Amino acid sequence: MAHDGTRESWERHPRKGILPTTEEPAQPSPPLAPPPGPEPSAAMPKASEIVAPPATPQEVPPIAPEEVRSSPPAPAATPPPAPAQRIVFDTYTGTIVRMETHHSGLWEFDFALDKPMRFVAGQYVSVFLPGMKPAPFSIASSPVERERIVLGIEVVGAVTGALSRMQPGDKVTLKGPFGRFVIGDDERKVCFLAGGIGITPFMSMLRWVRDTNPDKRAVLFYSCRREDGFMWREEIARMHETHPSIKAVLTLTGDAPADWRGQQGRICEAMIREELPDFKDYVFFTCGPPALIDAMFALLASMGVPAQQLRREAWH
Ligand SMILES: Cc1cc2nc3c(=O)[nH]c(=O)nc-3n(C[C@H](O)[C@H](O)[C@H](O)COP(=O)(O)OP(=O)(O)OC[C@H]3O[C@@H](n4cnc5c(N)ncnc54)[C@H](O)[C@@H]3O)c2cc1C
């Protein structure tokens, strides 16, 4: 069934890309803020009430070269923000208040901060462990919450391995926020293409959309090789089902169980055209393995999406 990307048409469209399969109906993680109803409610916290107005990329401070390995396009010039609204990086102490493994290689950490951090969804922090090089990690939690941050971490080496061996109550030094992989104020339709652990910056962006109801439409394509690789799956499913501006499509590239109801195979042209017929109106953000990022850029370019609508966060 074709659909034009509006909420009404999404609702008519079969929800093949999302739902839990082998599990019981989703028991969502406790929401960070009350989930919105179909209409933004007056009681719904707005970003401007809880934190300073959502920052624009222009507010993000210059980044030390060693702190960033991504280079989104330079934003258009706008008047400089008032000093009180600037996103400035600082040093924080984070205390692990919760750590959970999703499967052996994937961890979710909840850090309580010693002071509030103001950040834009999509930014990252650097984690400093004694005697080790700093390691950058995207913030996965909503910027509405300023006194804690959530990180999703794949164990690949020294720092990530050491983090996975820590315990609740342990402390780490965090520096941030850094990065310009953020949604521009004037970007109303945004599409996130995530491979594996590349979901983390998009989780923050989706939670921000959920929590503050900005004038955005957000569509997520989330690809994993194995079913237990999908982090925050129940929460994503709930956002998809309940938030009028959020749509999520999950696709399994490895073996799918018989009752898998999502998409299968790599994110491809047919999938994008089917799920997002008005794709040319979207700004695409891609994060994940380099091969996925390159493949997505090539694909979208071949589909006629202009280069200025393509953003990447390269981790490697
Ligand atoms: C802006 C940004 C945001 C990021 N956000 C996230 C995030 O949200 N979540 C996340 O999980 N990651 C994220 N990353 C990636 C993350 O920073 C790295 O995975 C992390 O720094 C690795 O540190 P490490 O010390 O654990 O690994 P390292 O020890 O530095 O190892 C890195 C790589 O080298 C390989 N390697 C290590 N030792 C050897 C060896 N002896 N022989 C061969 N290969 C070896 C490992 O397999 C691994 O692939 C982000 C990166 C950037 C730049």
CA of 157 to the centre of ligand 1 (A): 6
Question: Which helix (H) or strand (E) is 313 found in, with range?
Answer: strand 310-313
CA of 28 to the centre of ligand 1 (A): 29
71 in contact with ligand 1, CB cutoff 6 A:
no
Integer Cα distance of 114 and 123 in angstroms: 19
pTM of the model: 0.81
Q: What is the pLDDT of residue 102?
A: 80
Burial readout 226-235 (b: 16 or more C-beta within 10 A, e: otherwise): ebebbbbbbb
Report CA-CA distances (Å) from 207 to 215, 226, 241.
14, 24, 14
203 close to 220: Cβ distance less than 8 angstroms: no
Which two structure tokens, joined as six digits, stand for 4?
């034009």
pLDDT in tens, the chain (316 residues): 333 334 443 443 444 455 443 343 334 333 334 344 333 333 322 333 223 333 444 444 444 433 333 444 444 455 555 555 678 889 999 999 999 998 879 999 999 999 999 999 999 999 999 999 999 999 999 999 999 999 999 999 999 999 999 999 999 999 999 999 999 989 999 999 999 999 999 999 999 999 999 999 999 999 999 999 999 999 999 999 999 999 999 999 999 999 998 999 999 999 999 999 999 999 999 998 899 999 999 999 999 999 999 999 988 7
CA of 25 to the centre of ligand 1 (A): 34
Integer Cα distance of 137 and 242 in angstroms: 28
141 in contact with ligand 1, CB cutoff 6 A:
no
| Dihedral over Cα of 142, 143, 145, 146: its sign | positive
CA of 156 to the centre of ligand 1 (A): 6
- Strand 171-178 and strand 148-154: pairing? unpaired
Domains annotated for the chain, with CATH where assigned, are 7-45+182-313 (3.40.50.80), 58-72+89-178 (2.40.30.10)
Residue of 182, 197, 315 to mutate, ligand 1, most atoms within 8 A of C-beta? 315
220-222-226 Cα angle (round to 5)? 160
Q: What is the pLDDT of residue 175?
A: 96
Residue of 123, 160, 164, 286 to mutate, ligand 1, most atoms within 8 A of C-beta? 160
